[in-house]
């Protein structure tokens, strides 16, 4: 604990010194959280504590469960409160109305913000870091490849990956999260690149694994450090993607032709990015491909890990899901004749209401993304409080999802609560507004497909205690949920 505290203090001090050297100012408000003065009229900041000078409340946040930290703040100060973390003054919002204000109603006043090191690793032209017309164009291109009409053609590929993943786990003790990361990664690569370019895809895979190890490292670009290795891998990733783009151009399949099944790339994301009239540069394409892989992998894998945990702990719910999936399989076998392999289709995925409610409830209880970061681009007033320009603003999804006002007995895992649609802005597992996750339909599909196969053909048991969670940075069952999986004979 002492080492952890020292590390946090050092990080905060380094961050502060860097900001002073570069002349940046995060706020015009004093560190005690007083009123903002100057040419503007006196306006009140939200209530809250700013903690120690420079360090703020960073230690309090990271020395315990972050969700406990946010819940206690909300209890003491209300739905809108201020704090200071990692060198940045912040306003936290934990009501549906405030989240809607930041993410939807006044979204143009709050830009997405990430650590500079994250931008360097993913690529500064990735969709996460954008606003305005360029962001709208990128979002349109991603949605075109990931909307239901486009992903219908991907079901067979997703199913093949799911079957292969589960077969590789048969009879083994596994780290559930790591296996689900591999599954989600393979689905992402198939959705982005199609099924060709296998040799270059394998090279891309190895480079990405190196890059991934540096995501949460200190941004010290010295030989031997994780960050240095990650940046070197990032440069290599750009070269690999450039080769794939060149090969695609040479093959003449750079435009979308949704109604031409003979085109192997007609519905993949790269085809959407490469359509001539969109005029994206190779660097823009590379940044966004790497960004999509980053967004698609850990989040989906985390949801799947939590689903398998909750199903193992709730036998009645598992039985209901298994019966629903068995009925789909029996119906297909009757129509197509008894056979070992009956492919799923789009219509099948619409016959899984119980399974879908399990997914919804898992995303509510787990709240994989506990919050998201925005930054005020100008002074903003909300319910009489001032949010100064440059301050970070964090909509707290987990607090909203665990509010007893909207979800009675919020800690209980109860998929039946989604038999009735939740109230507007109380359930935001994919975010909200123009920066909501554009790949949510594909994520739902790959979860449904894997659950179909694992509940009808396998059984699994959790090894060791099911208690405890970890943050890395997504919320996970402790140790990635060690489990044993076996095929039903």
Q: How many CA atoms lie within 13 A of 162 on its CB side?
A: 25
The pLDDT value given to residue 11: 47
Q: Any known ligand binding at 356?
A: no
386-410 average pLDDT score: 94
Measured distance CA(347)–CA(123) in Å, rounded: 38
Q: If one looks up domain 127-367+402-487 in CATH, what number appears?
A: 1.10.630.10
The pLDDT value given to residue 42: 60
Q: How many CA atoms lie within 13 A of 209 on its CB side?
A: 10
Q: Give the model confidence (pLDDT) of 147-191 as tens digits.
A: 888 898 899 999 999 999 999 999 999 999 999 999 999 999 999
Identify the band that residue 254 occupies on the pLDDT scale cut at 50, 70 and 90.
low
All CATH 1.10.630.10 domain ranges of the chain, comma separated, are 127-367+402-487
Identify the band that residue 200 occupies on the pLDDT scale cut at 50, 70 and 90.
confident
Contact between residue 273 and residue 285 where contact means Cβ atoms under 8 Å apart: yes
Q: Give the model confidence (pLDDT) of 332-351 as tens digits.
A: 877 755 444 568 999 999 99
Q: Give the model confidence (pLDDT) of 45-101 as tens digits.
A: 999 999 887 778 877 776 667 778 888 999 999 999 999 987 789 999 999 999 999
Identify the band that residue 408 occupies on the pLDDT scale cut at 50, 70 and 90.
very high
- Whole-number percent of the chain with pLDDT over 90: 57
* pTM of the full structure: 0.86
CA distances from 340 to 138, 186, 332, 374, 489 (A): 42, 24, 11, 50, 13
444-472 average pLDDT score: 90
Contact between residue 182 and residue 296 where contact means Cβ atoms under 8 Å apart: no
Phi, psi dihedrals of residue 85, rounded to the nearest 5°: -140, 140
């Amino acid at each position: 604990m002492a080492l952890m505290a020292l590390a946090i203090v050092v990080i905060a001090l380094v961050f502060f010194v860097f900001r002073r050297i570069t002349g940046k100012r995060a706020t015009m408000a004093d560190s005690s959280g007083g009123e903002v003065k100057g040419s503007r009229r006196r306006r009140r900041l939200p209530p809250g504590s700013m903690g120690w000078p420079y360090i703020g409340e960073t230690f309090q946040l990271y020395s315990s469960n972050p969700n406990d930290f946010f819940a206690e703040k909300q209890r003491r100060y209300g739905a809108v409160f201020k704090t200071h973390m990692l060198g940045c003054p912040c306003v936290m919002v934990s009501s549906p109305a405030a989240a809607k204000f930041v993410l939807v109603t006044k979204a143009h006043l709050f830009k997405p913000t990430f650590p500079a090191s994250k931008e360097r690793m993913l690529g500064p032209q990735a969709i996460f870091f954008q606003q305005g017309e360029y962001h709208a164009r990128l979002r349109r291109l991603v949605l075109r490849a990931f909307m239901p009409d486009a992903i219908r053609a991907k079901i067979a590929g997703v199913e093949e990956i799911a079957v292969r993943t589960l077969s590789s786990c048969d009879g083994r003790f596994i780290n559930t999260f790591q296996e689900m990361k591999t599954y989600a990664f393979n689905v992402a690569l198939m959705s982005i690149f199609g099924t060709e370019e296998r040799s270059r895809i394998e090279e891309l895979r190895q480079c990405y694994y190196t890059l991934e190890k540096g995501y949460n490292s200190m941004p010290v670009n010295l030989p031997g450090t994780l960050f240095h290795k990650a940046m070197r891998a990032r440069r290599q990733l750009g070269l690999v993607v450039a080769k794939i783009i060149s090969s695609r151009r040479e093959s003449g399949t750079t435009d979308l032709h949704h109604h031409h099944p003979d085109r192997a790339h007609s519905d993949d994301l790269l085809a959407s990015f490469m359509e001539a009239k969109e005029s994206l540069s190779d660097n823009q394409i590379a940044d966004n491909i790497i960004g999509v892989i980053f967004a698609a992998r850990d989040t989906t894998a985390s949801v799947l890990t939590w689903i398998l945990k909750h199903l193992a702990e709730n036998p009645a719910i598992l039985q209901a899901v298994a019966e629903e999936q068995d009925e789909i399989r029996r119906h297909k076998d009757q129509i197509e004749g008894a056979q070992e392999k009956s492919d799923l289709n789009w219509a099948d995925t619409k016959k899984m209401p119980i399974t879908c409610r399990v997914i919804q409830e898992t995303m509510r209880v787990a709240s994989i993304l506990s919050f998201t970061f925005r930054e005020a681009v100008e002074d903003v007033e909300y319910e009489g409080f001032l949010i100064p320009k440059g301050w970070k603003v964090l909509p707290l999804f987990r607090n909203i999802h665990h509010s007893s006002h909207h979800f009675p007995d919020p800690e209980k895992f109860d998929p039946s609560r989604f038999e009735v649609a939740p109230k507007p802005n109380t359930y935001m597992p994919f975010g909200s507004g123009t920066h909501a996750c554009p790949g949510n339909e594909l994520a739902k599909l790959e979860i449904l497909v894997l659950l179909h196969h694992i509940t009808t053909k396998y059984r699994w048991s959790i090894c060791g205690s099911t208690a405890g969670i970890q943050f890395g940075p997504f919320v996970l069952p402790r140790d990635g949920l060690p489990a044993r999986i076996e095929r039903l004979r």
